[in-house]
Structure 1
Amino acid sequence: MIKRALKQTFTLLNVDRVELDSKWNYKNVISPYFRLYYIDAGAGEISDLSANVRLEPGFLYIIPSFTLCNLTCQSYLRQYFVQFFEESSDGISLFANNRSIFSIKATEMDIMNVKRLLEINPGRGINRSDNPKVYEKNIFYKEYQERNNQQNMSTFIETHGILLQLVSRFLSPEIFKHNEAGQIPAKILHAINYIQLNLDQDLSVTQLAKSANLHTDYFSRLFYHYTGERPVKYIHEKRIERAQYLMVTTQMTYSEIAAQTGFENVYYFSRIFKRITGTSPGHYKKQMDLLNF
């Protein structure tokens, strides 16, 4: 039997149905988790670096993790929203080459799935003060973990199954460009895993190539072929993703985060952070505070 393994898993962060107004107006939002919306009344807009997407009743929308976007509502918008984290066995996000906003017409099954997700996960909305001083990020993240750990097995599996179904709706060949390069060779997969586990260490292309017993240039070409990224850029992106994660879930200083993510100093960290995300660490943190994350 030929087995096909699922590399990605998704864990629920928040789900709720909310009514929004013109206060829902956030710029340069970039988060370490996915956002999924089902709109059932009103109108709004999401925009990224390449497009403006109108939020309309009867449609599903997904914003992959680490996708820079703006969220706006002129007057009234009613939406179901789902926020969830992605974990990948090879360290590559399902949407690594598709960091943009997707929309599809919702089916009856989609609507049933979104409503069912809320039904079996009550009390998972965002019901906190807008004042960042009131909000403890590490307490919040601990609460998210505990809520998932407290789910009974039936609810845990059904929740994961619904998230998989909802994400799958955006993976049709018509709207999703998948990497068809084939199975990643063991040497490249080892390098990817090594990077993920050693982001705080000194990582060089020469070192990674030597570990794979490959010439540096050949290793770089092979790495690019299977990941779509040059090794140095890939390492920077993974370090900044980890930094964003730490900024959301801990109270670390920028210097501490820079050290934890392998940057020699906070100035270099800030420069790479802005290059990758389009915004400074300070501005990113303010956006997260305004969004209660």
Structure 2
Amino acid sequence: MIKRALKQTFTLLNVDHVKLDSRWNYKNVISPYFRIYYIDAGAGEIWDASNKVRLEPGFLYIIPSFTLCNLICPDYLSQYFVQFFEESSDGISLFENNRSIAKVKATEMDILNFRRLLEINPGRGINRSDNPRVYEKNIFYKEYQELNNRQSMSTFTETHGILLQLVSRFLTQETFKQMDTQDVPAKILNVISYIQLNLHRDLSVAYLARRVNLHTDYFSRLFHQHTGERPVKYVHEKRIERAQYLMLTTQMTFAEIALQTGFDNVFYFSKIFKKITGMSPGNYRKQMDTGGF
């Protein structure tokens, strides 16, 4: 018998059917949640760090959380969209190795799923602005979470089931690269999970190696062999990803964010942040506040 348990759950943020024009033109958008689009008319584009994807009728598109992208509508675009948060029991995203835009041909069931989401979740559009810098605020996230808490068990369960169905459309060999955990040593999986859940703690290579009773050099080689990255680089990326989330959703100071993400001081935090994102935390937040993203 094959036993497989899904560690991820998804909770609704927004769902709506909208008609967009050339004002839907936003650069360097990075969000702490997932987006899925179904295009039923018009045309547009999404750019991520590596490619440009054309938005065209009859297709589904997914933008995983923390995927830097540009959103563009030259003239007219009609789309269904759903935005949702991912939670994981081990802190590892289902799309850990897939932080890029994916596209699949839509089916009749996909369209019915979007319509059903709208039917059982009325009034869950953004209802403020289509500018991510306007609606991506922690206070609004809390509002939508409270709406989820008020859902009946039937609606909550059906909503989660539909989100799972929509996400599953992108888990094909053509669109999804998955780490084969059967080939990854249990000690490395243990470390990956520990990192995700303890970003604020000591995550030096020596400490991580000791946790799994391995020599430091051997541990580092083994980690790189199965993740494609050195432990230090992996930890830095996860810490900065968490920092970006905190900057998007809270009013914490850089010193507070540095402490929450495990950096000894704000100067080292700023150095690593700029190394990974290409800009300082100050410039990053400034562009957020002025709508420059």
Global fold match (TM > 0.5): yes
Call closer, same or farther: CA 1:125–1:283 in 2, change over 3 Å.
farther
1:50 to 2:50 alignment: yes
Indicate the residue corresponding to 1:139 in structure 2. Answer: 139
**Once the 2 structures are TM-superposed, how far is the Cα of residue 190 of structure 1 from its aligned partner?**
3.0
SS in 2 for 1:83: strand
SS in 2 for 1:82: strand
Residues 129-138 or 142-151, more deviating: 129-138
2:36–2:60: 8 Å Cα contact kept in structure 1?
Answer: yes
**Once the 2 structures are TM-superposed, how far is the Cα of residue 2 of structure 1 from its aligned partner?**
4.3
**Once the 2 structures are TM-superposed, how far is the Cα of residue 198 of structure 1 from its aligned partner?**
2.4
Indicate the residue corresponding to 2:87 in structure 1. Answer: 87
Indicate the residue corresponding to 1:18 in structure 2. Answer: 18
Q: Which residues in structure 2 correspond to 1:56-135 (within 5 Å)? A: 56-128=56-128
Indicate the residue corresponding to 1:177 in structure 2. Answer: 177
Q: Distance in 1 between matches of 2:14 and 2:135?
A: 16
SS in 2 for 1:214: coil
Q: CA RMSD in A?
A: 2.5
Q: Distance in 2 between matches of 1:229 and 1:207?
A: 17
Q: Distance in 2 between matches of 1:223 and 1:124?
A: 42
Q: Distance in 1 between matches of 2:136 and 2:166?
A: 30
SS in 1 for 2:195: helix
Call closer, same or farther: CA 1:239–1:162 in 2, change over 3 Å.
same
**Once the 2 structures are TM-superposed, how far is the Cα of residue 139 of structure 1 from its aligned partner?**
2.1
Figure out how many residues of one structure are paired with residues of the other and give that number: 292
SS in 2 for 1:191: helix
Residue type of the partner of 2:265? N
Q: Distance in 2 between matches of 1:175 and 1:129?
A: 31
Call closer, same or farther: CA 1:134–1:93 in 2, change over 3 Å.
closer
Q: Distance in 2 between matches of 1:138 and 1:48?
A: 24
Indicate the residue corresponding to 1:236 in structure 2. Answer: 236
Call closer, same or farther: CA 1:115–1:240 in 2, change over 3 Å.
same
2:36–2:82: 8 Å Cα contact kept in structure 1?
Answer: yes
Q: Distance in 2 between matches of 1:73 and 1:197?
A: 38
Residues 30-39 or 139-148, more deviating: 139-148
Question: How big is each residue's C-alpha offset from its partner over 1:10-45, in whole Å with a ceiling of 9 and x where there is no partner?
Answer: 111111111111111111111111111111111110
Residue type of the partner of 1:162? I
Residue type of the partner of 2:22? S
2:92–2:196: 8 Å Cα contact kept in structure 1?
Answer: no
SS in 2 for 1:241: helix
| Off by >6 Å, runs of 4+ in structure 1 | 130-136
Q: Distance in 2 between matches of 1:199 and 1:165?
A: 31
1:30–1:284: 8 Å Cα contact kept in structure 2?
Answer: no
Indicate the residue corresponding to 2:202 in structure 1. Answer: 202
**Once the 2 structures are TM-superposed, how far is the Cα of residue 210 of structure 1 from its aligned partner?**
0.8
Indicate the residue corresponding to 1:5 in structure 2. Answer: 5
| Percent identity of paired positions between Structure 1 and Structure 2 | 79
